[in-house]
Chain A
Amino acid sequence: DAKTTQPPSMDCAEGRAANLPCNHSTISGNEYVYWYRQIHSQGPQYIIHGLKNNETNEMASLIITEDRKSSTLILPHATLRDTAVYYCIVRARSTGTASKLTFGTGTRLQVTL
Chain B
Amino acid sequence: ETGVTQTPRHLVMGMTNKKSLKCEQHLGHNAMYWYKQSAKKPLELMFVYNFKEQTENNSVPSRFSPECPNSSHLFLHLHTLQPEDSALYLCASSQPGESYNEQFFGPGTRLTVL
Q: Report which A residues bind B (CB closer than 8 A).
A: 32, 34, 41-46, 49, 89, 91, 93-95, 97-106
Q: Given the complex of chains A and B, what is the CA–CA distance between A32 and B101 in angstroms?
A: 10
Number of B residues near A (Cβ < 8 Å) is 29
Verify A103–B43 contact, CB threshold 8 A: yes
Query: What secondary structure prevails in chain B residues at the interface with A?
Result: strand
| Interface of A: prevailing SS | loop
- A106 CB to closest chain B CB (Å) equals 8
A6 to chain B, nearest CB (A): 12
- Partner pick for B33 among A46, A98, A104, CB 8 A cutoff: A98
What residues of chain B have their CB less than 8 Å away from a CB belonging to chain A? 4, 31, 33, 42-43, 45, 48-50, 55-56, 88, 90-92, 94, 96-98, 100-108, 110
Are A100 and B92 within 8 A (Cβ)?
Answer: no
Residue of B nearest to A105 (CB): B42
Set of chain B residues within 8 Å of A34, measured between Cβ atoms: 101-102
Q: Which residues from chain A contact B55 at a C-beta distance below 8 Å?
A: 97-98
Known interface pairs A41-B88, A43-B92. Does A101 touch B101 (Cβ–Cβ under 8 Å)?
A: yes
User: Are A100 and B48 closer than 8 Å at their CB atoms?
Assistant: yes
